[in-house]
Amino acid sequence: MVKDLVMVDYRTPVREVCRIMGEKKIGSVLVTKEGKPYGIFTERDLVSKVLLEGSLDDEVGKYTSSPLITVSPDYSLREAARIMADMKIKRLVVMENDEVVGILTASDLAKAIAQAPLNF
């Protein structure tokens, strides 16, 4: 799970969000509205929404995937993977007591599988 999260306000221009994502070498940012988690903006949102129908000068909130799809920290990797597959998402936000504590990524799942003992 990624715990070093980057959050931006929903009014931040997409151009600025892209700059942040590039500098930090990340594929997504959490978007907040009035200080609370609102959604997630990903590279997929950039390609499939902004570049097709929008402007880099628009507010990121216009293209943010919302509402957030979340799980609590007590979900198993199997349950989280099932949700990600069913929802066709690559990132799952982990929340505890209405606070974001991390993001589980498809890469995290692949690493966990690679480290698991083989069952024949």
Looking at residue 116, its pLDDT comes to: 76
Domain boundaries of the chain, sorted by first residue: 7-115
**115 vs 32: CA distance, rounded Å:** 34
Token pair 């698991």 is found at: 116
pLDDT at 98 over 80: yes
35-59 burial code (b ≥16 CB/10 A, e <16): eebbbbbbeebbeebbeeeeeeeeb
pLDDT at 13 over 70: yes
Helix axes 106-115, 77-87, angle to 10 degrees: 140
Number of residues written out for the chain: 120
Residue 61 tokens read as: 């909130």
Looking at CATH, the fold of the domain delimited by 7-115 is given as CBS-domain (3.10.580)
Averaged over 69-84, what is the pLDDT? 94
pLDDT, averaged across the chain = 93
Averaged over 44-58, what is the pLDDT? 94
pTM of the model: 0.88
Averaged over 52-67, what is the pLDDT? 95
Looking at residue 118, its pLDDT comes to: 60
**pLDDT level of residue 83 (50, 70, 90 thresholds):** very high
